[in-house]
């Protein structure tokens, strides 16, 4: 059919039902703090806090382990403080127990604000999509650098509080410029996406995989005492080397160099310190001939300046 045709084709359309468009689904949306724009559907009661027992875990100063609770009751959705150290604030006022109304703003700690609202099925779907787009790199589906930097700060604070190990793996794809020059930038983009897929299926759900810039990526992983961080790095390096990359009938080989730093080993006590240490280890891996893992060691590397 052209624009000049008189006949309008009537296709089979799956229209949304009235029930799907009813704004009856309670949810929280992050307005300020970690993961801005993320939507949390409220399907049942949940505890909000920074502790392991919290259903919605937040990181930041002033947040208690079990800070507050959302209750779904017959009289409505209720916000209840859990005797937090710094209080739960609703629309700028400290509260102990209040029924929430659409548009209410909840402040938890010094830097987290959540908005309570009701949404329909379509709005929830779109909010989830937009939140995901804001957090992820569109080419590789890895988390964005901004997300990584926000998460790194909170993970470092968690590691210091719990006196637990936190490892940062910094990847650089070897000779990636040559891949772009020889096969073209479309092939280079395709290779980046395949690399990201391989890494993502070989790490834990709780590990953070992000694109740090260009052909550099990071993995942030908890509880890596002993040689666990090194074991993970070597396994990922081998997985990348074993990739069979066939781009439009042309085989492309790929390897990666990895710099590994683990806190609090080597006196690392801050996010900037951890990045600088991993970067020095990566530089050593490239100098050793690439396709290898190097671990930050203050006996061989210059100690990064403490931020």
Give the catalytic positions in this structure: 215
CB contact at 8 A, 250 and 184: no
Q: Beta strand pairing status for 25-32 and 112-119? A: antiparallel
Under 8 Å between Cβ of 37 and 129? no
Contacts of 22 (CB under 8 A, 6+ apart): 120
Q: How many residues does the chain have?
A: 307
* SS (HEC) of 249-289: CEEECCCEEEEEEEECHHHCCCHHHHHHHHHHHHHHHHHCC
Distance from C-alpha of 31 to C-alpha of 174, rounded to nearest angstrom:
39
For residue 85, give Cα distances in angstroms to 33, 65, 68, 93, 288.
Answer: 19, 10, 11, 15, 51
């Amino acid at each position: 059919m052209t624009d000049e045709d008189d006949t309008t084709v009537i296709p089979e359309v799956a229209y949304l039902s009235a029930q799907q468009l009813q704004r009856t689904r309670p949810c929280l949306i992050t307005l300020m703090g970690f993961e801005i724009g993320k939507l949390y559907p409220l399907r049942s009661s949940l505890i909000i806090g920074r502790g392991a027992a919290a259903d919605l875990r937040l990181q930041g100063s002033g947040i208690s382990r079990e800070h507050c609770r959302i209750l779904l009751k017959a009289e409505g959705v209720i916000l209840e403080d859990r005797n937090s150290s710094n209080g739960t604030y609703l629309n700028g006022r400290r509260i102990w127990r209040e029924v929430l109304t659409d548009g209410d703003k909840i402040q938890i700690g010094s830097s987290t604000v959540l908005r309570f609202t009701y949404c329909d099925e379509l709005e929830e779907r779109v909010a989830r999509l937009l939140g995901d787009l804001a957090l992820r790199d569109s080419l590789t589906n890895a988390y964005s650098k901004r997300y990584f930097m926000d998460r790194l700060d909170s993970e470092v604070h968690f590691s210091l509080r719990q006196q637990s190990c936190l490892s940062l793996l910094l990847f650089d794809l070897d000779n990636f410029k040559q891949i772009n020059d020889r096969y073209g930038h479309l092939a280079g983009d395709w290779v980046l996406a395949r690399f990201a897929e391989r890494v993502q299926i070989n790490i834990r759900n709780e590990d953070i995989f992000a694109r740090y810039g260009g052909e550099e990526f990071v993995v942030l992983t908890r509880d890596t005492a002993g040689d666990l961080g090194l074991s993970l790095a070597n396994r990922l390096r081998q997985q990348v080397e074993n990739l069979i990359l066939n781009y439009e009938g042309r085989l492309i080989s790929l390897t990666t160099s990895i710099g590994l730093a683990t806190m609090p080993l080597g006196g690392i006590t801050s996010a900037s310190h951890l990045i600088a240490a991993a970067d020095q280890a990566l530089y050593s891996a490239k100098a050793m001939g690439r396709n290898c893992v190097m671990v930050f060691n203050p006996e061989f590397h210059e100690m990064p300046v403490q931020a």
